Structure 1
Amino acid sequence: MSELLWAAGRASGLIALALFTVSVLLGIVIRSGRPLPGLPRFSVSLIHRNVSLLACVFLALHVGTLLFDSYAKLSLLDVVVPFAGAFKPFWQGLGTVAFDLVVAIVITGLLRRRIGQRAFRFVHWFTYAMWPIALTHAIGNGTNGTSRWFLLLSAASTALVAGAVIWRLSSRFVEHSRARRVATGYTSGPMTRHDDTR
């Protein structure tokens, strides 16, 4: 039974990390104001939300199965308080930090209308901290963390996310509606198009 719980905890953690990677990438695409090929922008937003929810489900499975696994020795305190665990406390603590950040992001997402857009966006920015912390936790604490296939997958994921973040910080990233209109050739009016005759 313990081996089954360990395998389930390991698999659900890997799936959660993969889904969070996709979620981060989709979140950056949404903020860019650009649709994905074949998908309108609202569809990308819907996919981002559903992928994020699915990632949270697998994260809950990851934590839940390890709570009942005698080998992981995970307690409720370890889930909330970082670096208090008995098994690899530093690497496990990074997982706790990532988990706490996810909880904060989810709660503010649910309370978005009550707390306001500014507070929601401020907390949502912590996604950029949560993802590398979760990846580092997986490398240091995971059974396959130092396996060649996982390190290659981690390197590829890091390259994708880093490239997306660099794009987000570049001048080519179009986020605000006015900038999007200028980038697509539209000016002040919704039906007025800017023609370049030069």
Structure 2
Amino acid sequence: MSATLTTALWDLGRGAGVAALVAFTISLVLGIVTRSGRDALGLGRFGLNEVHRTAALTGVGLVAVHLGTLLFDPYAQLRLVDLVFPFLGSYRPLWLGLGTLAVDLLGVITVVSLLRDKVGPRVFKAVHWATYALWPVALMHAIGTGTDAATLWLDGVALGCVAAVAAAVTWRLSPSFDTRGWTRTPRQVAR
């Protein structure tokens, strides 16, 4: 494999990983805003939900690019087993393992989200809560592995993502979160 192709695979893999972190940050923040029932960005409740889902699916696609390019990159030396089973990699096994753990969580969340109508609201909601575990695990992977770890630009992206998620989660946990917005009404049962 030529050095140019190897460099291109490495750059694409790194860029897709960072872009996925940003997409998942947007998805998590918009998920919280959507849950609040407030109108934001002039999109309304359903528009926000669509942007939330689109950001999440974009993140899934970017993770696929991230994994695919690094799997074929001779420098990264990923094996198929490293994509499924955490902490077995030879390169920075803790940090790579966190990435694998994030991919495993992402797989479960994605499948259940796509099958939302089949699994029902209780299962969907229970599994969807795992995004609160997925996001920090993916962030730790991004910060701890790769050649961009501790660079100013990656630190800036990570800090921006942390600030956005911290603000959204803090708001989600505050008493004012439920004070306005839409309220759910129970379905009327046909008799």
TM-score normalized by the length of structure 2: 0.89
Deviations 1:27-80 (A, max 9, x none): 000101111032211100111111111111111000011111111111110000
Alpha-carbon separation, structure 2, partners of 1:180 and 1:3: 49
By relative contact order (CA 8 Å, sep 6+), the higher-ranking structure is 2
Query: Which residue, out of 70, 74, 77, partners 1:70?
Result: 74
**Residue 103 of structure 1: aligned partner:** 107
Query: Separation in 2 of the partners of 1:153 and 1:3?
Result: 22
* Percent identical residues: 47
Amino acid in the other structure paired with 1:44: L
Would you say the 8 A contact 2:9–2:70 is kept in 1?
yes
Matched, 1:122 2:147: no
**Which residue matches 2:9?**
5
Aligned ranges for residues 29-48 of structure 1 at < 5 Å?
A: 29-48=33-52
Report matched runs for 1:1-198 at 5 Å: 1-174=5-178, 180=181
SS of 1:172's equivalent in the other structure is helix
2:187 is matched with: none
TM-superposed CA distance for 1:166, in Å, is 1.1
2:115 is aligned with what amino acid? L
1:194 counterpart residue number = none
Q: Which amino acid aligns with 1:104?
A: V
SS state at 1:70 partner? coil
The answer to whether the 8 Å contact 2:106/2:134 transfers is: yes
Superposition RMSD in Å: 1.5
Change in CA separation of 1:29 and 1:66 when aligned onto 2, cut-off 3 Å: same
Structure 1: unaligned runs, 5 residues or longer: 183-198
Contiguous gaps of at least 5 residues in structure 2: 184-191
How many pairs does the alignment contain? 179
> Which SS does the other structure have where 2:149 is aligned?
coil
How far did residue 174 of structure 1 move? 2.3
Deviation at 1:181, TM superposition (A): 5.8
Q: Does the residue aligned with 1:36 lie in a helix, a strand or coil?
A: coil
